[in-house]
Amino acid sequence: MLEKFFSPRSVAIVGASREQGKVGHEIVKNLLLGGFEGQIFPINPKATTILGKKVYAKITDIPAEEVDLAIIVIPAQQVKDALIQCAQKGIKSAIVISAGFKESGKDGAQRERELLQTAQEYGIRILGPNCLGLINTSANLNASFSTEMPPKGNIAFFSQSGALGTAILDWAVGQKIGFSKFISLGNKADLAESSIMEALCQDHDSRVILGYLEGIEKGQEFLHKARQVSKVKPIIITKSGSTSAGTRAASSHTGSLTGSDVAFEAAFKQTGVIRARTIEELFNYALAFAYQPLPQGPNLAIITNAGGPGILAADAAEKNNLNLLFLSKETTDKLAALLPPAASVYNPVDILGDAKADRYQKTLEVVLEDPKVHGVLVILTPQAMTEIPQTAEVIGEMSMSTEKPILASFMGEYAVREGIERLAKYKIPNYSYPEHAIESFHTMWKYRRWQEQPPLTYVSLDADRERVRQIIEQVRKEGHLEIGDLKAREILAAYRFEVPFSRVAEDSSMAVALAEEIGYPVVMKIVSPDVLHKSDVGGVKVGLKTPEEVHAAFHEIMAKVRKFMPQALIQGVSIQKMYDGKREVILGMARDPQFGPLIMFGLGGIYVEVLKDVSFRIAPICREEAQAMITEIKSYPMLKGVRGQKPVDMNAIVDALLRLSQLAVDFPEILEADINPLIMKESGQGAVAVDARFTISPN
Amino acid sequence: MISLYIGSTSGYSGKSLVCLGLGNRFAQDGYRLSYMKPIGKPTAQVGETITDEDAIFIAKALSLSDPLETICPIVVTQDMIVQAYQNKTEGLEGRLINAHQKLSQHRDIMLIGGGSDLYEGAFLGLSGLYIVKRLLDAKVILIDRFTNEVCVDCILGIKESLGDRLCGVILNRVVPERIDYVQRRIIPFLSTRGIDTFGIIPYDQLLNAVTVKELSEALGAEIICCHDQVDELVENYVIGAMTVDRALKYFRQKKNKAVITGGDRPEIQLAALETSTKCIILTGNLYPSELILVQAEEHHVPVMVAKDDTQATVEKVERIFGRIRVRDQRKVARALELIDQCIDFPTLYRKIGLA
C-alpha cells in the first residue's frame, strides 16, 4: 500500500526549476542530495537541464515506460491539468506540494474539489495539496522541500502541520534521532491519517507511528483503522486544539470543526492510540518505543546515585499507578552484600553519590536477574566520583543481553553530554528528568496491556425500533426537535429501560385517586406545554406519602406555576411512582461532528455539574467499555457503597449504557440524549430511568 | 349583502391570514366578494395617497380593484390624531358609511378587516364595536391567539357586547401540544356559552418565518456570501456566545434558524453550519475568515455582518420575529392551505347566513 509513494523507482517533478531558492529547484536538489537511486525526471517546458538532469517539456515526453511518482510544484490553477497528464503517462501516485487550495479561500476550495474529482476519475492517489512532501530514509528518498534528511531509524512521523514537521526534522537531525518516514499531510484532500497509518503498519522499517493532528477527516474510519494498526505497532498522537482558545485557533486555521476534545480522548482510549499532550511528550514516548522492548509487567526498578531524584522518581511512579514494592528478598540480600552500608537496597535502589561504573554494573546485573523486575530506570547525577561515559557504556552493554527495557535519566546538560551520546549509540532513551522516564515506561506498559487484550465483541440488543421511529416521526410532524417527558420515556421503554409508571391528573381529587392507585410515595410534576424547566418554577414535588400531602402539593404546584408563569396553559400534574434516589447517575449522548455518537456517564447532581466527573466513549460500545466508563470516574467508590452502603446494581448501569449506545447507533437522527436521573437500586434490582430528553435532527 | 367583520382580541393574531383564506374560499364558491379596512394605519404611500399596507396587500391578493381610498376610507395619520384630541375630526362616520355602500354594490359578501382589538379607533369615535353595531350592521368572526383563560375572558367579554352578532371564533397559532386540551376543554366550554369555534389553526413555522433578506434589511447588515439564498425563510434565532460543545447542543434544538454570534468566533460559526441554520449574523462589524466563508458557501448558508454589537442586534431580531406579516408568496399559499384544512366551512356559512 502506498508503495509507490514511499519507494518509487522513478519520480517526475512537475514544475522543476533552474532557479535556486524556488521550491521546484529545492525538490530536485533534495532528491539528489538524499542519494535517491531511482530515475529523476524534471518537467519544465522552458529548461533543458536542471542540476545536471535532462529536463522534459511534458510528462508525456518522459521516455521511460513507467513513472511511479509525480511531485507537483506548479501554481494551483495548473495542477488539475498536470494530473490529467500524469494519468496519460499511467502515474497513479502524486504528491501535490502546491498551495492555493482549500486553505486559501473560496476559489481554492473549489480547485481542491475539482482536483480530488479528477484524481478519483483517473484512479490517482494524492498526498496534499499544500504539503511539504515526504521522506523515506530507507529508500534515500527526500521528496520534500526540507533540506535536512534525518538519520535512518524506526520512527515514522506524519504531521498535519508542514512547518511543525520541518522544525521537528531539524531538531531530530541535531539530536541524531532516526526516522523511517516523514509524511506531511497538508490539506488531506485524499490521503489522510487513516490511510497513512494503515500503510505505516505494513512498513517493516517503522516500529512506532507518530502523528501531529489538528483534526481528523473521517472519525469512524479513523476508529476502525487505528484499532487495527495499534494492535500491531504503537501509534502516538499529539492532537492540538484541546482548549476553547485552541479550538478557536484550529477552526480558523483549518476551516473545520475539529470535534470536542473529550471525543478525541475517548477515540484514543478505544483504539489504543497513545495520546501525547505535548510535542515533547510525543518524542519522550517515541524514543522509549523505538529503542526498547515492551515490558512484560508494570514493575519498574529504579537505580540512582542520588536521593533527591530517587524520591522524584518514586513520586512519579505512584502518580502513574506503578508499584515500587516488589523486589524479592533474594535481590535485596544480594544488593545489601554488594553495596555500602549507607546505600538503600529497596526500590528506588540508592547506590550513593560515590558510585562508579562498576557499582552501577553490579547493581544493574542483580536487579535485572530478579524475575519480578520488568524494567529498569537508571538515574545518574554528575558528581565528583561519577564515571559518566563509562557508566553509559556499562548500561549499554547490559541492555544488549536483556529482554527487559532499560531507560536512563542522566540529569544535567554539559557534564553528561558524552554519556548521553553513548547511551544513544546503544539505543537507550535518556530523559533529562526521571518523571518523563517513568511516564514513558508507564505508557509502554499500558500499550502492552492493550496489545494483549482479547478482541472485544459488540452485540446488537433487541428493541422496539418501530415504536421509536413512530415517535420521532410524530414529533417531527409537530414541528419540534426536542422530545421530553412522556414521549422520551416511551423511547426508553422501547429500548427496554425500566421507566416509572405515570399518569396525568387534571384536578386535585384525580391526583389523590391516582396516587392511591400507584402507591406512595409519589412524585408530582406540572404538565404544561409552556413549562420546560419544571423545577425552576416550583412545578415538582417529591416524596409525597399521604393523600393529604398529594392534595396540598397539587395546590402548591398550581400556585407557584401561576405566580411564575401566568401565561402558561396548565393541563394538570403527572403522578409518578417515587424511587429512592439516594444514588443517581446520568447517561448522555451527543453526536460529535467527527466521531459520531459520544456516550457520557457520570454520577448525578454536583458530580457531573460541578466536578465534571464524567467518562466518555464513542458508540457502539461493548460490555468491557461500558464497565470501564463506570470504574473510570472518580466517584466510582460511591457506587460501590461507602459507610456501610450496599453497592448499586452495576450490571444495570452497564446495560443502560449499552442500550443507549444501541439507540444512538440505530437512530442517527437522534443528535442528543440525556437520561437524568437514572435512579440506582441495590445490586440485582436494576435501575429506573426517571426522566429523559432527546434532540432530533429536522430531517 | 353580508358584512363580515374579522376582529381579534390582540394584535398580530392572524386577521390578514383569515381574511385571505376566507375571501379566497368565498370567491371559489362563487360568491361576489368585497373587502374593506375601515380604519387603516399610514404604512404605505401609493402615488399621492397615504394608505394602509395590509389593506393594499389583501385587496391585491383577493384580486379586488376598488380604489384604495374606498377600501381604506380612514387612515389614522398624525394630523388626524392631533385633530382627534382637539375634537376637530368631522365626517368620518359618513366617509366610512359611504365607502361601505360603494363597495357593497353587486356583491354578496364583504370582509371587513378590524383593528388590533375591538376598541381600536374609539378615540376617533370609531371603535370596532361601534362600527359593527351602529354603522355597518356586521356579523363578527373573532380571531384569537389562544394561550389560556385570559383569552377565554376576552372572548366572553366580546360575546357580552356583541350578542348574536358574534358568529364564532377561530383559534389561531395553537401549538400542537395544546390542541388536544383545547379540543377537550375549551371548545365544548365556549359552545355552552353559545360560541361556535370554526376551527383551530395550528402554529405554523413557515408563517412565522422571515426571509434572510428581510433580516438583513431590518438590521442594516451586509450579506457577504450566498446571495442566491437570501429568500430562504428563517423560523427563529439563537445566540452563540457559549463554548462550542454547548453551542452544538443548543443549535441542534432549533431548526431553520439564524445564529447570532461574534465575527471572531469561528468555532461557533462552524457549529452553526453543522446544524439546521438558514443564516449566520455576525455582530460587531467583524468579518469572518475566508475559510469560514468557504464552508458557508458549501452549506449554502448566507453570512451577514451587522454593525451593532450582539445585544443591539438581538433586540432588533427579537422585534422582527414578534411582528410577522403574511407577505411572501410561500406564506400566502401556506395560509390558504391551512384555512382550507382547519376551518369548518359548512358551519361557518350557516352561521353567517351564506348557506
Q: Answer whether A574's CB lies under 8 Å from A504's CB.
A: yes
CATH for B278: 3.40.1390.20
Q: Which residues on B lie below 8 Å from A567 (Cβ)?
A: 147-148, 150
In B, what residues contact A, Cβ < 8 A? 147-148, 150, 175-178, 181, 203-205, 243-245, 248-249, 252-256, 265-267, 269-271, 273-274, 276, 289-295, 297-298
Are B232 and B299 part of one and the same domain?
yes
Per-residue model confidence (pLDDT) at position A537: 86
DSSP string, B31-85: --EEEE-SEE-S-EEETTEEE-HHHHHHHHHTT--S-HHHHS-EE--HHHHHHHH
Are B171 and B23 part of one and the same domain?
yes
Place of cell 384525580: A510
* A121 Cβ contact partners less than 8 Å away, ≥ 6 residues apart: none
Q: Please calculate the CA angle A350-A352-A357 and round it to the nearest 5 degrees.
A: 100
Q: Is the pLDDT at A321 greater than 70, yes or no?
A: yes
Higher pLDDT, A241 or A90: A90
Are B332 and B313 part of one and the same domain?
no
Average model confidence (pLDDT) across chain A: 92
Are B331 and B317 part of one and the same domain?
no
Segment A5-16 mean pLDDT? 96
Closest CA to A524 of A540, A548, A500, A501: A540
Are B188 and B215 part of one and the same domain?
no
**Distance separating alpha carbons of residues B324 and A364, to the nearest angstrom:** 83
Q: Answer whether A146's CB lies under 8 Å from A166's CB.
A: yes
Are B261 and B299 part of one and the same domain?
yes
- Our count of domains for chain B comes to 2
Per-residue model confidence (pLDDT) at position A581: 66
Average model confidence (pLDDT) across chain B: 92
Closest CA to B9 of B165, B207, B203, B156: B156
Q: What is the pLDDT of residues A100-140, one digit of tens each?
A: 998 888 889 999 999 999 999 999 999 999 999 999 999 99
CA closest to B275 among chain A residues: A697
Backbone angles phi, psi at A666, to 5 degrees: -70, -35
Q: Answer whether A90's CB lies under 8 Å from A121's CB.
A: no
* B185 Cβ contact partners less than 8 Å away, ≥ 6 residues apart: none
Are B114 and B261 part of one and the same domain?
no
Q: Please calculate the CA angle B25-B3-B62 and round it to the nearest 5 degrees.
A: 35
Q: Answer whether B236's CB lies under 8 Å from B256's CB.
A: yes
Task: Name the strand (E) or helix (H) holding A265.
Answer: helix A261-271
Closest CA to A94 of A103, A85, A83, A84: A83
Are B201 and B241 part of one and the same domain?
no
Q: Is the pLDDT at A582 greater than 80, yes or no?
A: no
Q: Answer whether B208's CB lies under 8 Å from B49's CB.
A: no
Per-residue model confidence (pLDDT) at position A253: 67
Q: Is the pLDDT at B105 greater than 80, yes or no?
A: yes
Backbone angles phi, psi at B121, to 5 degrees: 95, 0
Question: Which of B227, B236, B290 should be substituted to probe chain A, the one whose Cβ sees the most A Cβ atoms within 10 Å?
Answer: B290
Are B192 and B337 part of one and the same domain?
yes
SS3 A477: helix
**Distance separating alpha carbons of residues A637 and B143, to the nearest angstrom:** 61
Give CA B254 to chain center in angstroms: 22
Q: State which residues form the domain around B81.
A: 2-206+325-352
- Whether residue A255 and residue B291 make contact (CB cut-off 8 A), yes or no, is yes
**Distance separating alpha carbons of residues A556 and A539, to the nearest angstrom:** 9
SS3 A344: strand
SS3 B139: strand
Same fold, A501-578 and A584-696: no
Per-residue model confidence (pLDDT) at position A565: 85
Are B128 and B257 part of one and the same domain?
no
- Whether residue B289 and residue A478 make contact (CB cut-off 8 A), yes or no, is no
Q: Is the pLDDT at A594 greater than 90, yes or no?
A: no
Q: Which fold has domain A584-696?
A: D-amino Acid Aminotransferase; Chain A, domain 1 (3.30.470)
Cell of A527: 404538565
Q: How many Cα neighbours within 13 Å face the side chain of B6?
A: 27
Place of cell 373587502: B35
Per-residue model confidence (pLDDT) at position A258: 65
**Distance separating alpha carbons of residues B88 and A344, to the nearest angstrom:** 111
**Distance separating alpha carbons of residues B46 and B44, to the nearest angstrom:** 7
Per-residue model confidence (pLDDT) at position B8: 94
Are B163 and B20 part of one and the same domain?
yes
Q: Is the pLDDT at B201 greater than 90, yes or no?
A: yes
Q: Which residues on A lie below 8 Å from B177 (Cβ)?
A: 478, 529
Helix-strand-coil split of chain A, %, nearest 5? 40, 20, 35
Per-residue model confidence (pLDDT) at position B241: 86
Q: Answer whether B332's CB lies under 8 Å from B20's CB.
A: yes
Q: How many Cα neighbours within 13 Å face the side chain of A229?
A: 28
* Domain coordinates in residue numbering, chain A: 3-288, 294-452, 501-578, 584-696
* CATH code for the part of the protein at A3-288: 3.40.50.261
Q: Is the pTM of this model over 0.95?
A: no
ipTM: 0.74
For chain B, the straight-line distance linking the first and the last C-alpha, in angstroms and rounded, comes to 13
Task: Show the DSSP H helices in A478-591 as ranges.
Answer: 485-494, 508-518, 547-564
Place of cell 457520557: A600
CATH for B93: 3.40.50.300
What percent of chain A lies above the pLDDT cut of 90? 77
pLDDT band, residue A399 (cuts 50/70/90): very high
Name which of A250, A569, A697 is nearest B181 (Cβ-Cβ): A569
**Distance separating alpha carbons of residues A407 and A553, to the nearest angstrom:** 68
Distance (Å) of CA A220 to CA A1, A447, A533, A597:
21, 22, 35, 10
Q: What is the pLDDT of residues A268-304, one digit of tens each?
A: 999 999 999 999 999 999 999 999 999 999 999 999 9
Pick the CATH number of A501-578 from 3.40.50.1970, 3.30.360.10, 3.30.1490.20, 1.20.210.10: 3.30.1490.20
Segment A509-532 mean pLDDT? 90
Which of A364-373, A652-661, B307-316 has the lowest average pLDDT? B307-316
Q: Domain A294-452, CATH 2.40.50.1070 — does that match?
A: no
* A260 Cβ contact partners less than 8 Å away, ≥ 6 residues apart: A590, A592, A598, B244, B245
For chain A, the straight-line distance linking the first and the last C-alpha, in angstroms and rounded, comes to 39
Torsion of CA A273, A274, A278, A284, to 10 degrees: -140
Question: Which of A130, A528, A569 should be substituted to probe chain B, the one whose Cβ sees the most B Cβ atoms within 10 Å?
Answer: A569
Q: What is the pLDDT of residues A448-498, one digit of tens each?
A: 999 999 988 999 999 999 999 999 999 998 888 999 888 999 999 999 999
Are B62 and B142 part of one and the same domain?
yes
Q: What is the pLDDT of residues A213-259, one digit of tens each?
A: 988 888 999 999 999 999 999 999 999 887 777 777 777 666 666 66
Q: Is the pLDDT at A677 greater than 70, yes or no?
A: yes
**A103 CA: distance to closest CA in chain B (Å):** 7
Which of A363-372, A641-650, B12-21 is modeled with the greatest confidence?
Answer: A363-372
